[in-house]
Structure 1
Amino acid sequence: MKPRQTQTSQIKLWAIIPAAGSGSRFSKTQLKQYQTIQDKTVLEYTIDRLNTLSLEGYVLAVNEQDSVARTLNFTALEKIHFCQGGTERVHSVLNALYYLTDLASDNDYVLVHDAARPCVSAQNLKELVDYCIKKDTSAILAIPVRDTLKFATEHHIQHTVSRDYLWQAQTPQMAKLGVLREAIEKALNDKINITDEASALEHAGVVVDVVQGRSDNIKITYADDLELARLILAAQQRH
């Protein structure tokens, strides 16, 4: 008699990494995902972390002028796919979802993760996946807002904003392939500003939960974030 498969073993996981942006806040000439830390690019660190999961495959959405991505030594090279990136992050993600539609089931789960977020912990990734599968839901990594928030106009504080119930969104953000694709299509058709995958799901009326992440899951946005990422990665390797 064959052993009975668990629900988790029947679920297929895919990852999407939108990597076609210009990253102008980091540099006018250099792409942040191709900066190096100890002779490895930020993007390679990011892919390493995602591949701690049992992925069916991962899709990199890159700019057609990108001459670097296909030359990198990614882990699990046999699982890598490339697709054309879009003008904005949301278009890159949708292109990758269209690409996956030919390979995967609409009921497969997709994790969308920032290319320049190399410090996400393997434990957090597992917690997010386990939560979504157990609850049969969509979810994102996020951390509670810690600092005092001020609402200000023209540099003048108008009032203090309560931190209660406020979370700072991170990635990965996880949903079923078909659900996310239809949500993004609807948001674009409705001309809704999409800042992350969760905002598209919210607009479509899909329940999205938060799974508490960690503060070291930083996104490299500005040049000095690269040094912080270097310190975090070194600390994580020591532990």
Structure 2
Amino acid sequence: MTPRYFAVVPAAGVGKRMAADRPKQYLPLLGRALIEHTLERLCAFSPIDKVVVALAPEDPYQAGVKALNHPRVMRCAGGAERCHSVSRALEALTGVAAEHDWVLVHDLARPCVRAEDLQRLLDQLQGHPVGGLLGVPVRDTMKRTAANGQVVATVERSQLWHAYTPQMFRYGLLRDALSATLARGELVTDEAAAIEAAGLQPLMVEGAADNIKVTRPEDLALAEFYIARQAAGES
């Protein structure tokens, strides 16, 4: 049976590093909420059947987000941490997704993700036994420091990558791997870490470097720049 594709977007966080008056997913980006851009890109990618968005309970801002009313969007209650929200979104797909279907977990704060990168992920992982994630190779010199900030080593960067999203794994595999890490009290920061903890090796798929994560206030201006360049057809 041909597998289907589902997207999961954890969106229950508050984005403390933005120091804003609302969660960062609702901050304005080119005249609309940041989350609108992210959801529109996922919903516009035709292989994705449904997009499950995990929102904070009693989120007062979601009513103003038109993209949350898209017919392919499902909502569920998120949790305290990203991994809890992803786990709850996977639970919401019970009876909807089959064990062998694919799930793409994407950061809501990555509004610049390209359709070409989504397609590359699907193409390269189609026959992979585990799954994988988008990323870009590390280009800067990497240093390891002690707790006091003193440099203790220069780290070889030739096989180091920045982990991006989406991260794409089989529904049943990801659900079980994430459930096992949570049962052990481990709070993984991405889905690949849960898969790795299960003794498996995800594949890293190189994507575009402009798939940035909006984390700090200055990142909003950078996201606007990249979205404008993409709209103009610039690489």
Q: Which interval holds the TM-score relative to the shorter structure?
A: over 0.9
The corresponding residue for 2:84 is 91
1:53 touches 1:125 (CA, 8 Å); kept in 2?
no
Which range is displaced more, 81-90 or 42-51?
42-51
| TM-score, with length taken from structure 2 | 0.94
Q: Does 1:102 align with 2:102?
A: no
- Identical amino acids, percent of aligned pairs: 38
The corresponding residue for 2:204 is 210
C-alpha RMSD over aligned residues: 1.5
1:111 touches 1:175 (CA, 8 Å); kept in 2?
yes
Q: Partners of 1:70 and 1:11 in 2: how far apart?
A: 33
Q: Partners of 1:210 and 1:185 in 2: how far apart?
A: 23
The partner residue of 1:43 within 11, 35, 39 is 35
Which range is displaced more, 53-62 or 194-203?
53-62
2:83 touches 2:187 (CA, 8 Å); kept in 1?
no
The corresponding residue for 2:26 is 34
Q: Does 1:192 align with 2:183?
A: no
**Please, which runs of 5 or more residues in structure 2 have no aligned partner?**
none
2:62 touches 2:68 (CA, 8 Å); kept in 1?
no
What SS is found at the alignment partner of 2:6?
A: strand
1:35 touches 1:42 (CA, 8 Å); kept in 2?
yes
Q: Partners of 2:221 and 2:64 in 1: how far apart?
A: 24
1:59 touches 1:82 (CA, 8 Å); kept in 2?
yes
Letter in 1 for 2:99: D
Q: Partners of 2:154 and 2:3 in 1: how far apart?
A: 44
Letter in 1 for 2:83: V
1:16 touches 1:59 (CA, 8 Å); kept in 2?
yes
Regions of 4+ moved over 4 Å:
none
Number of corresponding residues: 231
Residue-by-residue CA offset, 1:61-116 (whole Å, 9 max, x unaligned): 00012122243221881111100000100000000000101211111110000011
Letter in 2 for 1:231: F
Q: Partners of 1:33 and 1:11 in 2: how far apart?
A: 30
Distance 1:11 1:164, change over 3 A: same
Which range is displaced more, 37-46 or 219-228?
37-46
